[in-house]
């Protein structure tokens, strides 16, 4: 076979492969949608679940997931913002920066089940927050810290030097510089990070299944010590009943809702990131 044909063949083969991989997403989406359709009815997003989760809707599970992720971001944002500002504006030594980077990578790579177990012991038992949405949010906050940091750091480093120079020329103190220049200009980067963090926290099951959730009994949490039902753990319990088609259909529908949530947040993050790039190029 002459080399040209061989190459054409290879390129063709690779095109098919790439199409296959790309269609993986479509396949997953289509499957989740198709399997979830039987249980999807107009009130699905508004009704409570019934009959051990085999019927009804998932409103409280959805609320539970939203509460956990929002709590996580609200707790994580100040720490992420503060630590990145410190590392970029105040920390001068290279070793210091390297250590911070290593710690961030360490946090990012940790298996999430360990977050769940150690987090429960630390927050739930030692700090006595118990099995509650607060514990869950705290654990998730620690988990998404690196995610937020990356986006914020990207935004700060994308700031043109002129801004910082202008600030120094005006004689502003570092704090004023941060307050008036850096934070407002990095607005989009911060929010990008928030959305990416939300997306990551939304999909997490292992980190919260011991520390924050209940399958039944609670609708909306009424205090800081209440656990919450979540989409993820709801799906986990139903998946173990795979022989029961009703339960399985409910699991798929909940999965569809969860997947849509994660995709929506990710796409929002993209839109924001492109706005960030536009601003940086101005």
Partner 1 sequence: MWVFAGLNLIFLCCAGGLFLFLIFESYPIFKLHGFDFWLGQDWWVGEAYGALPMLYGSTLVTALACLLVLPLALAVAIFISEFLTPTSRRCVKAILELLAGVPGIVYGLLGVSFLSLWIKDVFGLLDGNTLATASCLLAIMILPTVLTLSEDAMRSVPAEYRDNALGLGLSKWQTATAVVLPQALPGIMGAVLLGIGRAMGETIAVMLVVGSLDRIPDPWFNIFSSAQTIPSKLGREAAEAIGEGTHWSALMALGLTLFIMVLLINFIGNRFLKRRSIS
Partner 2 sequence: MFRMLLFFLVAIGVIPFPVSADHSPKIEIVGSTTVLPIASRAAERFEKLQKIEKFKSSHRLRILVNAGGSGVGIHSVAKGRSDIGMASREISPSERKRFEGSHLKVHTVAVDAVACVISSEIYEAGIRDLTRQEIRDIYLGKIRNWKEVGGPDRKIVVVDKERHRGTRHVFMNYIFGNPTAKTPGTILVTGSNNEEQTKIAQSDSAIGMLSYAWINDEVRAIGIRDNKSIVNLTRETIRKGNYPIVRNLSFITAGEPNGEVKAFLEYLKSPEGQQLVEESGYIPFT
Interacting residues toward partner 2 by CB under 8 A: 52, 63, 66-67, 70-71, 73-74, 130-131, 133, 191, 194, 198, 214-218, 220-224, 226-228, 237, 240-244, 268, 272
Cβ distance 211 to 124 under 8 Å?
A: yes
| Contacts made by residues 260-267, CB under 8 angstroms, sequence distance 24+ | 261/65, 261/202, 261/231, 262/199, 262/202, 262/203, 265/195, 265/196, 265/198, 265/199, 265/202, 266/195, 266/196, 266/199
Query: Least CB distance from residue 156 to partner 1, whole Å?
Result: 12
Query: Least CB distance from residue 210 to partner 2, whole Å?
Result: 10
Query: Least CB distance from residue 221 to partner 1, whole Å?
Result: 21
Number of residues that bind partner 1 (CB under 8 A): 81
Among 200, 212, 228, 247, binds partner 1 (CB under 8 A): 200
Query: Least CB distance from residue 70 to partner 2, whole Å?
Result: 4
Nearer to partner 2, 104 or 265 (CB): 265
| 82 touches, from partner 1, partner 2, none (C-beta below 5 to 8 Å by class) | partner 1
| 215 touches, from partner 1, partner 2, none (C-beta below 5 to 8 Å by class) | partner 2
3-state secondary structure of 228: strand
Q: Rule CB under 8 A: is residue 163 a binding residue for partner 1?
A: no
Contacts of 231 (CB under 8 A, 6+ apart): 58, 61, 62, 64, 65, 254, 257, 258, 261
Half-sphere exposure of 109 (CA within 13 A, CB side): 6
Among 83, 135, 151, 192, binds partner 1 (CB under 8 A): 83
Distance in angstroms (rounded) separating the CA atoms of residues 108 and 201:
13
Q: Rule CB under 8 A: is residue 140 a binding residue for partner 1?
A: no
Cβ distance 136 to 212 under 8 Å?
A: yes
Distance in angstroms (rounded) separating the CA atoms of residues 126 and 113:
19
13-72 residues in contact with partner 1 (CB under 8 A) are 13-15, 17-18, 21-22, 24-25, 28, 31-32, 35
Nearer to partner 1, 18 or 180 (CB): 18
DSSP state of 280: H
Among 58, 59, 73, 85, binds partner 1 (CB under 8 A): 85
């Amino acid at each position: 076979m002459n080399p040209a044909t061989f190459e054409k063949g290879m390129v063709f083969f690779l095109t098919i492969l790439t199409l296959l991989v790309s269609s993986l997403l479509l396949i997953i989406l289509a499957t989740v949608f198709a399997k979830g359709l039987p249980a999807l009815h107009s009130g699905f997003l508004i009704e409570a679940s019934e009959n051990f989760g085999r019927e009804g809707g998932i409103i409280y599970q959805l609320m539970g997931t939203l509460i956990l992720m929002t709590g996580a971001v609200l707790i994580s944002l100040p720490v992420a913002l503060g630590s990145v500002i410190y590392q970029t504006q105040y920390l001068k030594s290279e070793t210091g920066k390297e250590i911070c980077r290593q710690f961030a990578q360490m946090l990012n790579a940790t298996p999430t089940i360990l977050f769940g177990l150690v987090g429960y012991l630390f927050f739930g038992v030692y700090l006595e927050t118990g099995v509650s949405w607060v514990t869950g949010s705290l654990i998730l906050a620690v988990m998404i810290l690196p995610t937020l940091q990356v986006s914020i750091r990207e935004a700060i480093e994308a700031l043109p030097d002129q801004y910082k120079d202008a600030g120094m020329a005006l004689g502003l103190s570092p704090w004023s510089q941060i307050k008036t220049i850096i934070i407002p200009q990095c607005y989009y980067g911060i929010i990008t990070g928030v959305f990416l963090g939300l997306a990551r926290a939304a999909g997490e099951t292992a980190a919260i299944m011991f520390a924050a959730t209940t399958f039944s009994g609670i609708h909306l949490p009424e205090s800081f010590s209440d656990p919450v039902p979540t989409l993820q753990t709801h799906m986990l319990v139903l998946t173990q009943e795979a022989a029961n088609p009703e339960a399985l259909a409910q699991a798929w529908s909940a999965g569809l809702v969860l997947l849509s949530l994660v995709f929506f947040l990710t796409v929002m993050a993209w839109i924001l990131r492109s706005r960030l790039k536009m601003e940086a190029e101005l």
